[in-house]
């Protein structure tokens, strides 16, 4: 995991800028647009449920559970088709084709 995470890793920096709506977001706009485009034109080889393990506070968990319907994660995120995560919260994400149109 050392190669794909950490506070100084390029994608971590971009994700933080996306999540906080940072003024630095403009610095990454070309890369973000290109990445979004590439993801958008890539064929989906898997549909169904994927998982994301995260550390969340009790107040964050309560706020998320009170959401009625879909919510937006303002970052690019990785997921897994299996469930082994050493985090306190496991998010189940439905990536079936009908949700891809949202």
pLDDT in tens, 46-64: 888 999 888 888 998 888 8
Q: What is the pLDDT of residues 76-85, one digit of tens each?
A: 678 888 877 7
H or E element at residue 49: strand 49-54
For residue 102, pLDDT beyond 60: no
The distance from CA 50 to its chain's CA centroid, rounded to whole angstroms, is 11
Task: Give dist(CA 12, CA 17) in Å, integer.
Answer: 9
* pTM of the shown model: 0.58
Q: What are the extents of the domains in the chain?
A: 1-42, 43-102
Work out the pLDDT band at 1, boundaries 50, 70, 90: very low
pLDDT tens figures, 3-37: 556 667 777 788 788 878 888 888 888 988 898 88
């Amino acid at each position: 995991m050392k190669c794909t995470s950490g506070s100084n890793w390029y994608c971590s920096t971009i994700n933080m800028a996306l999540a906080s709506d940072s003024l630095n977001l403009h610095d990454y706009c070309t890369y973000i647009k290109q990445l979004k485009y590439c993801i958008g034109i890539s064929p989906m080889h898997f549909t169904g449920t994927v998982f994301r393990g995260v550390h969340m506070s009790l107040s964050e968990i309560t706020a998320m559970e009170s959401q009625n319907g879909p919510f937006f994660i303002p970052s690019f995120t990785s997921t897994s088709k299996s469930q082994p995560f050493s985090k306190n919260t496991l998010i189940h994400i439905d990536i079936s084709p009908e949700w891809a149109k949202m």
